[in-house]
Amino acid sequence: MVSGFLKIINPEGAIKLVNLFFPFENESFSYIIVYFISLLEIGLAIYSFFDNTNKSVIMMIILLFFFNFVLVILIIRDVKITQCGCFGTILPEHSLGIVVLRNIILSIFLFLILEKK
């Protein structure tokens, strides 16, 4: 939920990442994608508070998998960026490899939650 709010407040880092992966001629499409992802993250976080099933956790794992897929493709393409925009531009800059590692750790944490439910 925090990353969704921070991307809405300061979307520039995420906009740069979207523009690298999907080079739209009109930058407003990039804003639409970033705001959609941000609202999806916030909605999913709120839904997880009221969800007694595993649906929200599974959706979070799928979302993290998608984010990692995009980041790994950028790493393979040797894109040199230091700010992925995952949390807006509030957090310090990291390499894409560090962000992928962080997402893998979050995914493991979500799998552990999935096991407990």
Angle at 67 between CA 61 and CA 68, to 5 degrees: 90
* Domain range for 109: 2-116
- Number of domains within the chain: 1
Which tens digits make up the pLDDT trace of 53-99?
Answer: 788 888 888 888 888 888 888 888 887 776 666 665 556 666 777 77
Dihedral of the CA atoms 70, 65, 38, 49 (nearest 10)? -170
* The pLDDT value given to residue 39: 93
pLDDT (0 to 100) of residue 32: 92
DSSP 92: P
**Helix H or strand E encompassing 108:** helix 96-116
> What would the pLDDT profile of 8-39 be if each residue is shown by its tens digit?
888 887 888 888 777 878 888 989 998 998 99
